[in-house]
Amino acid sequence: MKNIVILISGSGSNMAAIVRAAEREQWARRFGARVAAVISNRADAGGLALAKARRIATAVIPHQDFASREVFDAALADAIDVHAPALVVLAGFMRILTPGFVARYEGRLLNIHPSLLPAFPGLHTHRRAIEAGCKVAGLTVHQVTVELDHGAILAQAVVPILSDDTPASLAARVLTQEHRVYPQAIADWLSEAN
C-alpha cells in the first residue's frame, strides 16, 4: 500500500477534500494508495478532529517546542517516516521547510499555494492580488523544492477577481477550487507513480 501523509496547520479543509476523494474514487483499489496519517505543527488545528473522525492516525509536533528549524524538521520527519510514505502532501502547512527535509522527500513532496505561481509566493496572496489590480487569481499545486513556493507546477486553476472582492471573499472562491484541484492532482501523481 502506498501511504500518503498529509501535513496541516489549520482547518484542514484541503486535507478533508483529499480524504473524501480517496474514499469516493477508491484510491486503494485504483492506485493501492491511502491517507495513512495527518500530522500538524499545531495542537489546535481544526483538521485533526476531521482526521480522527475518519479513523486516520494523527500526530502533533509543536514547532515551538524545538530550538531550531533543523531540530523541528528532524522530529517531523521521524513522525512522517513511521508511515513509510510514498507521498507527503502539504495542505495548508504553514512552516518553511529546511533544505534537508525537502531533500529527504524530493519528488514525493507536494504543496498547494493560493496564487497563480510564480505570481505572489509567500503570505497574503489574496490581498496582494487585489491590490495589484489583477483580474484573475487562482491556485497552484507544485512539487516542493528548497526555494519557497517554487518547483514544478502540476496543476493550476483560475478564478475571477470581482470588483467588490475582499481578501476573504477571494480566498473563499479560490479555496473551493483548491478542494477540486488538489485531490485530482494527487490522483494524477499516484496514477503516474503506478
Name the residues annotated as catalytic.
113
Question: DSSP string of 27-79?
Answer: HHHHHSEEEEEEEES-TT-THHHHHHHTT-EEEE--GGGSSSHHHHHHHHHHH
Which segment (6-14, 76-84, 99-107, 150-158) binds ligand GAR by CB under 6 A?
6-14
Q: Cell 486535507 belongs to which residue?
A: 15
Contact string (CB under 6 A) for ligand GAR, positions 55-94, x = contact: ------------------------------------xx--
Nearer to ligand GAR, 32 or 122 (CB): 122
User: b/e for 48-65, b at 16 or more Cβ within 10 A?
Assistant: bebbeebebbbbebebee
Q: Residues 47, 16: contact at Cβ < 8 Å?
A: yes
Q: Angle, nearest 10°, between helix axes 167-193 and 13-24?
A: 40
Nearer to ligand GAR, 8 or 130 (CB): 8
> Which residues have C-beta within 8 Å of that of residue 26, sequence separation ≥ 6?
none
Task: Give min distance, CB of 194 to ligand GAR, in A.
Answer: 26
Determine which residue in the list 18, 38, 41, 114 makes contact with ligand GAR, applying CB under 6 A. Answer: 114
Burial of 169 per CB tally in 10 Å (0-12, 13-18, 19+): middle
Is residue 6 close enough to count as binding ligand GAR by CB under 6 A?
no
Grid coordinates in use for 62? Answer: 509543536
Nearer to ligand GAR, 91 or 159 (CB): 91
Nearer to ligand GAR, 1 or 172 (CB): 172
Is residue 175 close enough to count as binding ligand GAR by CB under 6 A?
yes
Task: Give min distance, CB of 145 to ligand GAR, in A.
Answer: 14
**Interface with ligand GAR (CB under 6 A):** 8, 10-14, 47, 91-92, 112-114, 175, 178
